Structures are given as C-alpha cells and as structure tokens.
C-alpha cells in the first residue's frame, strides 16, 4: 500500500462531489442504511417489521458499556 497524500485527498474530493450530486431521497436512504449499521454494531434492536429503528435512551449518569 502506498501513501500518496495527493491521491488520497483527490479521492476524498471526488467522493464528496459524487455524494453532493445525488438526489436527496438517495442521501436519505444512505443515511438510513448507515443508521441501521450503527445500531447493529452497538447491539441495539432493529424492528424491520415496523420499519422503525428503536433505541432505549440511557439514564442520566449511566456509563457506557
């Protein structure tokens, strides 16, 4: 793997341009997919039947596990 900072930065710019050019509905679908993935990683329950992601908020002062 090579470390070419200019290539990395241009790749990031290209990705940002691509994402900015996408329709809002597609951006929202991507956001939903990222949210589902994040909840799965954190071990939260996803309710696909209801089409809703649910989380139980922590109580004040409760420490992260």
Cα 18 to Cα 27: distance, rounded to the nearest angstrom = 11
pTM of the model: 0.51
The per-residue pLDDT for range 19-55, each reduced to its tens digit, is 999 999 999 999 999 988 888 887 766 556 655 656 6
Cα 33 to Cα 53: distance, rounded to the nearest angstrom = 11
Q: How confident is the model at residue 57 (pLDDT cuts 50, 70, 90)?
A: low
Give Cα 42 distance to the centre of its chain.
13
């Amino acid at each position: 793997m090579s470390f070419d900072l200019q290539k990395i930065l241009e790749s990031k710019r290209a990705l940002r341009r691509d994402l900015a050019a996408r329709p809002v509905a597609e951006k929202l679908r991507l956001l939903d997919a990222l949210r589902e993935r994040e909840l799965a990683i954190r071990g939260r329950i996803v309710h696909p039947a209801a089409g809703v992601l649910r989380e139980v908020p922590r109580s004040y002062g409760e420490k992260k596990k």
